[in-house]
Amino acid sequence: MKTSHIHASDIRAVARLATDATLGLTELIERVHAGIGGLPRVSSEAQRTPGIPGHVYRTVRGVTRTVGLAADAVLSQCVPLFGPRHSSAAREATISAVNGVIGDYLKTTGNPLAITMQFRAQGKPFVPASLPDAGRKLLVLVHGLCMNDLQWRRDGHNHGAALAHELGYTPLYLHYNTGLHISDNGRLLADCLQAMIGQWPVPVDELVILGHSMGGLVARSACHYGAQAGHAWPTQLRKLVFLGTPHHGAPLERMGNWLETVLSKTPYVAPFARLGMLRSAGITDLRHGNVREEDWQGRDRFLRGGDKRTPLALPEGVACYAIAGKLGGRLAGDGLVQVQSALGRHKDSRRELAFAEAHQWVAEGVGHLDLLADAGVYDRIRRWLADGPANRQNALTTSSARVTSC
């Protein structure tokens, strides 16, 4: 099977996006026109610009929709003619980035670029029956925002492959749409793990999850929803390791939210605030580290200072570990996530996560993406996972008073 940077389905998907973008730009221009000309604010189809300008805008939208539908119909017939193809690493990286930014929109509109959650190996769907030497120790690796399963390999190193070689784990790499709400991905991951455990060729003795950045939040969410659903896999989960996970949010998303708010307060530039809203649900969840549906549903109330909910605790009976990168500077973090957030620390003790002191580590001079390849980070992960049950139980005992069910 051929490897390709562009698939026929990509052309169809991009054509759909081009149609949507033209419609969105037309609406943006119409709103600016209304603001400058003192016309009634355009807020729905029923309140479009009146007169000749309104006729022009309606015509543009009508032609755009007609051309878009015609192009989609033609391209849908052409896609099967090109046959199946393997995806190149460059294509995978591009699609993953697009999903991170507008993945929720891609799914809602049924765009072919939307990623469907699955376990993969070397960029291909993973089937347990195809693994003759399946082990009893499973390691699930969950990537971060705008990334994919192939990007666990960085600078010639792959945490999953190295841990398989040294500690005998069978690595499973999750591939998912990072633009969806973290709670949605948490539910999907919980279901995927339940199905995977049920199909595994041999009994599973140990399950470990390693999450990088957003992936750590998705893992915590999966624990919550897996327990709610009564799944079996949470009882087999022994350890959770977080790499640069923004448990209490990331400052860069807050900056985007601030810009959106400022723009919306100025009449003439208010329409451009819509551009700031292009951030996906997954990105906005990173503002406060939302992991449950009720977290983001209560977002407005939280911003007004009225939401005092206790954050989701670390799962009971699971040894949890956190690594933070630190480059220095004003934000004192890895360039994207602050140390305090990555270690679950908070100035409000009620919001602090119960990581045992021995289960926290700061990687000095290591950036956010370099957490995937740094030798010191890997050595720390390896030592934590190599600890026996007795050591794990001792560590859990030291913090049992502060740990509650996920």
* pLDDT of 75: 44
Q: How far is CA 79 from the centre of its chain?
A: 29
Work out the number of other CB atoms within 10 angstroms of the CB of residue 151.
19
Looking at residue 280, its pLDDT comes to 83
Amino acid 95: pLDDT? 85
Measured CA angle at 208 (ends 169, 349), to 5 deg? 150
What is the mean pLDDT of the segment spanning 203-221? Answer: 97
For the four alpha carbons of 110, 114, 116 and 122, in that order, the dihedral sign comes to: positive
Which stretch, 3-12, 56-65, 262-271, 344-353, has highest mean pLDDT? 344-353
Predicted confidence band at 278 (pLDDT cuts at 50, 70, 90)? low
- How many residues are recorded in the chain? 406
Q: Tell me, what's the pLDDT at 134? A: 81
Which stretches does DSSP call E strand in 91-176?
118-121, 124-125, 137-142, 153-154, 157-158, 170-175
By the 10 Å C-beta count (0-12 exposed, 13-18 middle, 19+ buried), 3 is classed as exposed
| Cα separation, 317 vs 234, whole angstroms | 10
- pLDDT of 7 strictly over 60: no
Name the least confident of 51-55, 124-128, 333-337: 51-55
Q: How far is CA 162 from CA 139, 159, 247, in A?
A: 11, 5, 26
> Which of residues 47 and 291 earns the better pLDDT score?
291
Could you tell me which residue, 300 or 308, shows the higher pLDDT? 308
Pick from 197, 375, 195, 223: nearest CA to 314: 223
CA–CA separation, 120 vs 194, rounded Å?
16
Residue 275: pLDDT band with limits 50, 70, 90: very low
Confidence check: pLDDT of 225 > 80: yes
Say yes or no to pLDDT of 330 above 90: no
10-24, 43-57, 248-262, 328-342: which is most confident:
328-342
Nearest one of 142, 198, 194 to 372, comparing CA atoms: 142
**What integer pLDDT is reported at residue 159 of this predicted model?**
98
Alpha helices in 229-292 (DSSP H): 251-264, 273-276, 281-285
> Residue 387's pLDDT is what?
82
- As a whole-number percent, the residues of the chain with pLDDT over 70 amount to 63
Q: What value does the mean pLDDT take over residues 162-175?
A: 96
Pairwise pLDDT comparison (262 vs 292), residue with the higher score:
292
Please give the residue that has the higher pLDDT: either 127 or 339. 339
Greater model confidence, 76 or 359: 359
Instruction: Give buried/exposed letters for 343-361 (b at 16+ CB in 10 A, else e).
Output: bbbeeeeebbbbbbeebbb
Place of tokens 């799914």: 107
- The share of the chain scoring above pLDDT 90, in percent, equals 45
**Mean pLDDT value across the chain:** 76
Task: Please give the average per-residue pLDDT across 327-333, as a whole number.
Answer: 74
199 or 59: which carries more pLDDT confidence?
Answer: 199
Q: pLDDT higher for 394 or 125?
A: 125
Higher pLDDT, 288 or 192: 192
Kindly give the residue spans of alpha helices, DSSP state H, lying in 298-347.
299-303, 339-342
Q: How far is residue 371's CA from residue 78's CA, in Å, rounded to a whole number?
A: 43
pLDDT at 69: 53
Report the distance separating Cα 332 and Cα 355, nearest Å.
20
Give the angle subtended at the CA of 148 by the CAs of 105 and 367, to the nearest 5°.
110
pLDDT of the residue at 397: 35
